[in-house]
Structure 1
Amino acid sequence: MKKLLLFGVLACAVAFYACKKDDDGGGTDTEQPEKIDTIHLGDRTMLATKVKVAFGLYTPGAMPAASGVAGSPVLTEDKNIVSAISGRYIVVKPSFTYYESTIKGFYVTINGSGAHFKIDYSAGRGFYRQAAGIPDPLGRLGDYIDSSIIIKLPPYIIGDTLSVTYAAYDSLNHVSNHVKGLVRIHSQNGIAEYQDFVGSWKVNRRTDANGKWVNYYLPDTSKSNFTCIDEKVQYCINSNSQCFEGISAISGVTKYDMIFTDQNEYSKLYSSSTSRVILSNSTCDKLVYGTETQTTLEKGGWSFDAESKILTIVVDNNGLEFANFYSYSVKFLEMTPQAITIVNTANTSYMVELVKK
C-alpha cells in the first residue's frame, strides 16, 4: 500500500488586535476589550498553566540540572528562532551530537514560569506518538530521538516573543545539557508568505526508486499460485500439486486531498481500496473477489518557514486529548500557483507532487 510520508507544526486561532475609530470626525484611539482568557506573554507563570505539552506533565519548580556524567546525551545548541502562531503550536525539533543509552523523553520549561514539563513518550497519556503505519525513520524501537517537543498555545496571546529551555533524558535518567530556544509568536494571517499555498490540493504523482515520476493512484497487483482440490480453490503450497497463477489482491489509493486554510488549519482526506480473492466463493474456473475501502479524515494545524521552505504539520484532530497525535515536516522543492513538489524531511527517498484543485 502506498502512502505519502508527509510527516510533526504550527497554526492559529483568533488573535487579539487594536482598532481605531473616529468620533465625530476626531482621531481618538479605542482598544477592543480583552478576551476573558487572554494571556500576556509577560506573565510566564500564568502562560505555563494554560499551555498543553504533548505527552508532558506540568510540574512546579525548575527542570532537573544536567547530569554531567559520562554517557549522558548531548544536545546540539540551536540559534534559530522558532516561529509559532497564536492559538496553535510551538514545535521544537531537538537534535543530538551524542547519546549512548536509549532516549526516553525531554524536559521543557517556559523561561521565567517557575515550572516545567516532563515529556514521557513511553507513557502515552491518551496520545499516540505517531500515525499507525508510519515507520520510525531511525528504525529503533523504543527510542525517541526523532521526536518533537510540541506545545499547544492558548488562543488569545498578547506579546510576540518568549524563550524555552529543554533537555533530553535517557533510560538511565541521565539528563543532557540544557538548550535555549527563542520563539516568535505571530497572530493569524500575520505573515503574508504563509498564504501562497492556501487552498485545496490533490496528491498527484510521486517518483519511484529510479527517480521517475509515476501515477500515485496506479493500483498495486499481487499474484499467488492456486490449486483446485475436490472442486474447491486453495492456495498452492505443495509443489507436487497442479497449480495455476492468479491475482490474489489489487490495492490502491483512490483519494488523497489536502486543505490548508488561511486560519492555519489543516485537513487531509485519504481513501484506499483493496480487492482480495475470496476462496470460499471462487470456483476452479473463476476467482471471486471482495472489495473493502478505508477512508480517514485528519485535522490539525500548519506553519511554513519561508526561508527554509519547510512546512510543518501537527495532526491532533483539533484537540490534544484523546487524539492520534503526531507531527511531520516536508520541504518545498518547487512551487507554482498550480503545483508543489515536496519531499519528506525524514524520508528523502522520493518526491511527491501536489496539484491545485
Structure 2
Amino acid sequence: MKKVILMGAALCALTTFSCSKDKDSTVTPTVVAQIDPVALSAGMKVGYAATSVTGNIPAASTSADAPVLDSLYDNVTYYAISNRYIVIRPSILSGDVQGYYIQVNGAKSYYKIDYTTARNLRKAQKAASSKHSSAKEGDNSDSSIVIKLPANLVTDTFSISYAAYNANNQVSNSINAIIAVASSDSASNSLVTGNWRRNRYGNGIDDWNEDTIKYNNPDTSFYSYYNCNENGIYYYYYAPQGSQAIDRLPYYIQGYTNNDYSFQGKSQFTNTYGYIYKYINTGASSCSNYVYYDNSYIETYNGGYTYDAKTKTLIIIWDGDGYDNSNLYVDTYKVLSVTNQKMILVSYSNNDNHDELSYDYYEFKKL
C-alpha cells in the first residue's frame, strides 16, 4: 500500500482518505490509497451477462449432488492491471455447473453468472454441455470467470469469493481468490522499458538449450536431390528418364525474423513474432529457377505488463491491449537480472500434481 502526499484535495470513487496535522499546525492531506470494495464491485464488469444481486452469495448446500470446487485453489493470488481482465478458471472436482456466484469481499452485493444466458464479454456456452472440468493456465475455455477491472485503480490487493451452482440451485463450497492489482503504470516499469529481442533460452543460467538465435538467417540444411527437364523439377526417385540431375536443393527453408518484446509507457506491451517458412514448389520450378511456396508470417500481439522491482516479478497479460478476453493468457516471470543491454527472465510452473516446479530461462538483448 503506498502513500501519496497531495498538494490539493482530490477525491476518487475508488480511494479512501485520512488527514494528519503536523507540529506547525499546517494541515497536510495524506492519502492512503486503497481499493474500495463497494465502488469496485459497482465499477467492474463480469462476463457471461452476470447480474448483480444485493446481499451475500448463498451458503453452500448440504446435498451430495451439489458441485464441489477444489480447495487447493483457495487463496491463490492472481495478478491484474487496472483497466484489464482477470480470468479465474475454477477447478471442479465433482458435479454439474450452470454458473457461479462471485462477490468482492466487503461489497454489499454479488454477481450471478449464468452460462445458459451468457452474452456481453464472452460467447454463450453451448447448451448441450453444462459440466466443466479444470482448465489449464492459458486455456480460456467456457466455465471461466471473466472480470474487467475499472480504469485508474490504485496499486493494492483485494479478494473475491466464488462458488458454483447447478441447475437445481445447489451451491458448492466457496473459494477465495486474492487479486494483486498494479496501476496502469507502476513505478518499476521504467526499469524494463524498451524493445527487447529474445536471444536464447534454456533450463538454467548455465544450461542454455541452444546457441544465440539467428534472425533473418534461415536454416537451409533440410535438403533433398532433384532432377529437372523442360516441364519442371522432380524428386530424383520419381524423375522421368532423360531428366537432368540437379545438385541437392533445400526442400524447405525456415528461421526467425522477429521475436521482440516491447515494454512501453502506460503498461503497454507488444510482442512481434516473425518466422520464415518456405518449401519447394516443384510444379513452378525449372532447371534455372527454383520457386518456393512461402508461408512466412509476421504477427503482433498486444497486452499489458507490470514490473515489481521489490519482488522482481514481471507480469504480462495477453489481452489484445485490454479489449480481448476470448483468448487471454497471463505469463509470470522472475527477473533474474536486467541491465541496459540484457535481461534474463525465469518462468516456472507446477506439474499436474502440484508437487514439482519446472523452470525455463529466457535471455533478451536490448535493440
Q: Same fold (TM over 0.5)?
A: yes
Asked whether 1:216 is paired with 2:213, we answer yes
Displacement after TM superposition at 1:279 (Å): 2.0
Q: State the 1:110 CA deviation.
A: 1.9
1:164 aligns with 2:160: yes
Aligned to 2:361: 351
The Cα of 1:165 is off from its aligned counterpart by: 0.9
Q: Which amino acid is 1:116 matched to?
A: Y
Report the alpha carbon displacement of residue 266 of structure 1 after superposing the two structures with TM.
1.1
Cα drift, residue 214 of structure 1: 2.2
Aligned residue number for residue 45 of structure 2:
52
Provide the residue aligned with 1:154 in structure 2: 150
Query: What are the equivalent positions in structure 2 for 1:316-355 lying under 5 Å apart?
Result: 316-321=319-324, 325-332=327-334, 334-337=336-339, 338-346=341-349, 348=358, 350-355=360-365
Which residue of the partner structure matches residue 197 of structure 1?
Answer: 192
Structure 1 runs not aligned, ≥5 long:
1-16, 21-29, 129-140
Check whether the contact 2:84–2:322 (CA below 8 A) recurs between aligned residues. no
CA distance in 2, matches of 1:169, 1:155: 30
Instruction: Give % identity.
Output: 24
Task: Report the 3-state secondary structure (helix = DSSP H, G, I; strand = E; otherwise coil) of the residue aligned with 2:283.
Answer: helix
Corresponding position: 1:31 with 2:9: yes
One-letter identity of the residue aligned with 2:72: T
Give the alignment of 1:53-202 within 5 angstroms.
Answer: 53=46, 55-61=47-53, 63=57, 66=60, 69=64, 72-79=68-75, 82=78, 84-90=80-86, 99=93, 108-111=102-105, 112-118=107-113, 144-146=135-137, 150-157=146-153, 160-167=156-163, 176-190=172-186, 192-202=187-197
Find the aligned partners of 2:58 and 2:224 in 1 and give their Cα distance.
58
5+ residue gaps, structure 2, are: 16-34, 124-131, 351-357
Secondary structure, counterpart of 2:68 in structure 1 = coil
Q: CA offsets, 1:200-225, max 9 Å, x none?
A: 21111223998433232363454456
Report which stretch shifted further, 55-64 or 164-173.
164-173
Aligned to 1:5: none
User: Is the contact between residue 90 and residue 153 of structure 1 (CA under 8 Å) also seen in structure 2?
Assistant: yes
Q: Tell me: higher relative CO, structure 1 or 2? Use CA pairs within 8 A at least 6 residues apart.
A: 1
Quick one: structure 1 residues 213 and 58, their matched pair in 2 at CA, closer, same or farther if it must change by over 3 Å? same
Q: 1:303 to 1:253 in 2, by over 3 A?
A: same
Q: TM-score, length-normalised on structure 1?
A: 0.65
- Aligned partners of 1:232 and 1:83: how far apart in 2? 58
Aligned-residue offset at 1:150: 5.0
| Conservation of the 8 A alpha-carbon contact between 2:348 and 2:359 | no
Q: For each residue in 1:256-295, what CA deviation from the matched residue of structure 2 results, as whole angstroms up to 9, or x when unmatched? A: 2212234222112222222222222212565322445422
| SS of match in other structure, 1:76 | helix
Provide Cα deviations, 1:147-173, integer angstroms capped at 9, x if missing partner.
Answer: 575532211347945321124679999
Structure with bigger gyration radius: 2
Query: How many residues were matched structurally?
Result: 311
RMSD across aligned C-alpha pairs, in angstroms? 4.7
Q: With structure 2 as the length reference, what TM-score do the two structures score?
A: 0.64
> Cα deviation per residue 1:9-54 (whole Å; 9 max; x = unaligned)?
xxxxxxxx8731xxxxxxxxx31465xxx5465462x53343234x
